[in-house]
C-alpha cells in the first residue's frame, strides 16, 4: 500500500502532485502539542527549506516521515497517495531517504559496501557471491553523481566527515530516492565541503528530486532553497518562495511569539551582574579543548542566573561537562571562589557544584530505581555514619519526603514506584530534587525544561529563582532564547565552540541573540 505511488504525469509542475505533503498534521506527547495542524508540501525538482528554533517541531516532522512516529491526526501524502509508514522499511519503499547529522555509515566497510549493503549485485550462476566488478561500477557511477573521486574500495573510516555526508546522499540516490530529507547536514562541514554539498543539491534538483533542507544557517537557506517553510511552536508561521524572504524577516518569524509562558517575577529584583562587588563564585579562564570549545572565559557571581544560548553542537553541553569534570580540557582554568577546581564529579559536588544534564533518561536518573532512591542518590553520603558508613534511613526518608513535598511531585506517585513510570515533568523534578538536596552553590542546568509541560516548567523556574535568591550561582543552557530572556540576568552566546556574544539584562534582544548564535553564511 505504501509503495504504489501514482507515476508522475509528464509536463509542468502544476499538474503533478507534490513529492510530499503534510495535511493538517497534529501530534502531541503526554498531552503537550508538538505539531498543530501543520500544512505544507514540497515539490519535485525543488529545494524546500524548513527553518525554526530548536523544539519548533522539525525533528518530529522528520520522525513522522521516517515512520518512527505516527501522527495523531491529519494525512501524509507522497506523490499524491496516502502514506502511513510504520518503520524505516516503509519510508525506503516509498523512495524517501534521510541524511542526518549523525551518520548511519559503517566505517569498517568500504564505500561501495556501504552504498549497497542490502542491495549487493549478485554474480551469475545462482551463488550468493557479490559481483565485485558490478559493485565497483555501480558505486563509481553513484560516486560520480556526488563528485567523489575515491576508489569504491576505500574504507569509509578514511573519509573526512564532509565526504561521508556526500556518501550518505549517494546511498540515497542508489536507493532510487525521489525525496531527500537533509537534517542539518552542514554542521560538521568546512566551507569548501558545504559548497560541494550545495553544488550537488542543485544538480539533483534538475533531475527532479525533491529535497527538504533543514538548517539554522539562514544565509545558506536563503541562497540555496526555492521554497521556505517557517515553523514556530509546532505551527507553520510562514511559507512561500525563498525570494520573498530576508534574513531579518526569517528571524522575526522564528522568534515572533509573544511571551506565552509565564516567568515568575524575581524578588528582590536582580542587580546588574557587572556592578556586583563580591568576588566571583565561578571564574572560568580560557577553557580550551580541541574540537569541543575554544578559549571560553566568563564569571558567575553569587545570586546570578547566567544563560548560555546557542545552537545544538555549539559546544554548550561540552562546556558544562568540562566544568563538572566529566570531560578533560587541554588548557585553561576553573576557579571556585578563588580556589582551582580539580578532579571528577565527586570532588566537584563536594565543592558545591551540581549538574542537571540534558539527557534525563540516560544520565539524570536510574530509571528502574525508585523515586526515593533517585532523590537520595547525591546526598546519601551526608546520611552515612562512620565507621561502616551506616545509613540513617529515617533521616534519608525525612529528607526525601521534604523535597518531594516541596517539589510537588504528583501525589499519585509513591516513593517506591520506579522513576521510569513517571511523566517527563515529574521525572525532571526528581532530578532537580536530588540536586536541591545537596544545596548546591553552583548549579549547572542543561536544557532543564526540554519536553516538559508548562505547569512543571513554571515550578522549575521558581526553584531556580529561589536558589539564586539564596546566593547560589546558576548557569542555564537552553535552546529556547525565550526561556533565557525570561529567566536570566545575563546571557552568553556560543557559536562553534566559542563565545560569540554577551547580553546583560537591559539589552536582551531576541533577534540579536539569535543572530549571534546562527552560523554566518557559508557562501
Q: Which residues would be at the binding site for another protein (CB under 8 A)?
A: 88-89, 92, 104-109, 113, 117-118, 120, 122, 128-130, 132, 157, 290, 324, 326, 330, 344-346, 349-350, 355, 357, 362-369, 373, 376-378, 380-381, 384, 388-391, 393, 418, 420, 434
User: Please, which residue, 119 or 244, has the CB nearer to another protein?
Assistant: 119
Three-state DSSP at 308 gives strand
Least distance to another protein, CB of residue 396, Å: 9
Measuring CA to CA, which residue among 118, 105, 153 is closest to residue 133? 153
- Residues 377 and 386: their CA atoms lie apart, in Å, by 18
Least distance to another protein, CB of residue 247, Å: 35
Least distance to another protein, CB of residue 454, Å: 27
User: Please, which residue, 80 or 418, has the CB nearer to another protein?
Assistant: 418
- Residues 460 and 428: their CA atoms lie apart, in Å, by 9
The answer to whether residues 490 and 502 touch, using CB atoms and an 8 Å cutoff, is: yes
User: Please, which residue, 13 or 158, has the CB nearer to another protein?
Assistant: 158
User: Please, which residue, 381 or 455, has the CB nearer to another protein?
Assistant: 381
Least distance to another protein, CB of residue 245, Å: 34
Q: With helix as H, strand as E and coil as C, how does 158-215 read?
A: HCCHHHHHHHHHHHHHHCCCCEEEEECCCCCCCHHHHHHHHHHHHHHHHCCCEEEEEC
Q: How many CB atoms lie within 10 A of CB 43?
A: 19
Least distance to another protein, CB of residue 379, Å: 9
User: Please, which residue, 156 or 228, has the CB nearer to another protein?
Assistant: 156
Give the bridge partners for 169, in sequence order: none
Three-state DSSP at 68 gives coil
How many residues are recorded in the chain?
523
Q: Identify the burial level of 325 via C-beta atoms within 10 angstroms of its C-beta, where 0-12 means exposed, 13-18 middle and 19 or more buried.
A: buried
Least distance to another protein, CB of residue 311, Å: 24
Q: In what order do the strands lie in the sheet with 227-232?
A: 96-99, 179-183, 210-214, 47-51, 227-232, 235-241
The answer to whether residues 404 and 412 touch, using CB atoms and an 8 Å cutoff, is: no
**Angle of the 454-469 helix axis to the 424-436 helix axis, nearest 10:** 10
- Residues 174 and 161: their CA atoms lie apart, in Å, by 20
- Residues 454 and 456: their CA atoms lie apart, in Å, by 6
Least distance to another protein, CB of residue 211, Å: 20
Least distance to another protein, CB of residue 521, Å: 31
Three-state DSSP at 104 gives coil
User: Please, which residue, 374 or 522, has the CB nearer to another protein?
Assistant: 374
The answer to whether residues 442 and 473 touch, using CB atoms and an 8 Å cutoff, is: yes
User: Please, which residue, 241 or 344, has the CB nearer to another protein?
Assistant: 344
Least distance to another protein, CB of residue 367, Å: 7
Least distance to another protein, CB of residue 368, Å: 6
User: Please, which residue, 111 or 514, has the CB nearer to another protein?
Assistant: 111
The answer to whether residues 373 and 396 touch, using CB atoms and an 8 Å cutoff, is: no
Amino acid at each position: 500500500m505504501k509503495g504504489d505511488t501514482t507515476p508522475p504525469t509528464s509536463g509542468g509542475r502544476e499538474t503533478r502532485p507534490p513529492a510530499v505533503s503534510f495535511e493538517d498534521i497534529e501530534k502531541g506527547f503526554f498531552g503537550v502539542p508538538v505539531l498543530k495542524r501543520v500544512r505544507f508540501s514540497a515539490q519535485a525538482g525543488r529545494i524546500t527549506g524548513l527553518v525554526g528554533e530548536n523544539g519548533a517541531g522539525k525533528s518530529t516532522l522528520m520522525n513522522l516521515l521516517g515512520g518512527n512516529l505516527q501522527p495523531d491526526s491529519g494525512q501524509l501524502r507522497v506523490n499524491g497517495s496516502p502514506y502511513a509508514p510504520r518503520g524505516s522499511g516503509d519510508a525506503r519503499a516509498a523512495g524517501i531517504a534521510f541524511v542526518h547529522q549523525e551518520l548511519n555509515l559503517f566505517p569498517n566497510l568500504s564505500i561501495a559496501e556501504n552504498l549497497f549493503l542490502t542491495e549487493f549485485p549478485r554474480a551469475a550462476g545462482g551463488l550468493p557471491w557479490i559481483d565485485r566488478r558490478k559493485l565497483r561500477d555501480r558505486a563509481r557511477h553513484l560516486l560520480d553523481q556526488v563528485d567523489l573521486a575515491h576508489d569504491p574500495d576505500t574504507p569509509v573510516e578514511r573519509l573526512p566527515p564532509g565526504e561521508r555526508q556526500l556518501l550518505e546522499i549517494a546511498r540515497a540516490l542508489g536507493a532510487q530516492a525521489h525525496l531527500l530529507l537533509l537534517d542539518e547536514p552542514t554542521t560538521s562541514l568546512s566551507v569548501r565541503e558545504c559548497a560541494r554539498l550545495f553544488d550537488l543539491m542543485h544538480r539533483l534538483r534538475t533531475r527532479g528530486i525533491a529535497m527538504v533542507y533543514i538548517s539554522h544557517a539562514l544565509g545558506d537557506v536563503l541562497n540555496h532553497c526555492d521554497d521556505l517553510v517557517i515553523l514556530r511552536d509546532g505551527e507553520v508561521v510562514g511559507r512561500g518562495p525563498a525570494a520573498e524572504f530576508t534574513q531579518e524577516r526569517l528571524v522575526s518569524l522564528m522568534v515572533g511569539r509573544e511571551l506565552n509562558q509565564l516567568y515568575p517575577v524575581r524578588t528582590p529584583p536582580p542587580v546588574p551582574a557587572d556592578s556586583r562587588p563580591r568576588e566571583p563564585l565561578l571564574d572560568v579562564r580560557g577553557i580550551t579543548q580541541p574540537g569541543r570549545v575554544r578559549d571560553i572565559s566568563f564569571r558567575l557571581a553569587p545570586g546570578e542566573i547566567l544563560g548560555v544560548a546557542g545552537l545544538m553542537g555549539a559546544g554548550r553541553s561540552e562546556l558544562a561537562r568540562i566544568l563538572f569534570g566529566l570531560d578533560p580540557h587541554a588548557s585553561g582554568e576553573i576557579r571556585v571562589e578563588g580556589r582551582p577546581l580539580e578532579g571528577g564529579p565527586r570532588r566537584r559536588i563536594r565543592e558545591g557544584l551540581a549538574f542537571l544534564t540534558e539527557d534525563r533518561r540516560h544520565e539524570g536518573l536510574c530509571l528502574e530505581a525508585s523515586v526515593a532512591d533517585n532523590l537520595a542518590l547525591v546526598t546519601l553520603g551526608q546520611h552515612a555514619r562512620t565507621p561502616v558508613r551506616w545509613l540513617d534511613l529515617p533521616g534519608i526518608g525525612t529528607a526525601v519526603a521534604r523535597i518531594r513535598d516541596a517539589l510537588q511531585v504528583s501525589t499519585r506517585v509513591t516513593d517506591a514506584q520506579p522513576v521510569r513510570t513517571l511523566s517527563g515533568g515529574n521525572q525532571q523534578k526528581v532530578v532537580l530534587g536530588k540536586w536541591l538536596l545537596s544545596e548546591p552553590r553552583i548549579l549547572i542546568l542543561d536544557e532543564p525544561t526540554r519536553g516538559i509541560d508548562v505547569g512543571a516548567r513554571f515550578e522549575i523556574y521558581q526553584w531556580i529563582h529561589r536558589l539564586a535568591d539564596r546566593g547560589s550561582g546558576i548557569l542555564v543552557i537552553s535552546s529556547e532564547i525565550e526561556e533565557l530572556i525570561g529567566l536570566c540576568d545575563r546571557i552568553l552566546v556560543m557559536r562553534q565552540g566559542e563565545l560569540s556574544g554577551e547580553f546583560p539584562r537591559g539589552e536582551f534582544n531576541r533577534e540579536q541573540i539569535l543572530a549571534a548564535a546562527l552560523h554566518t553564511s557559508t557562501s
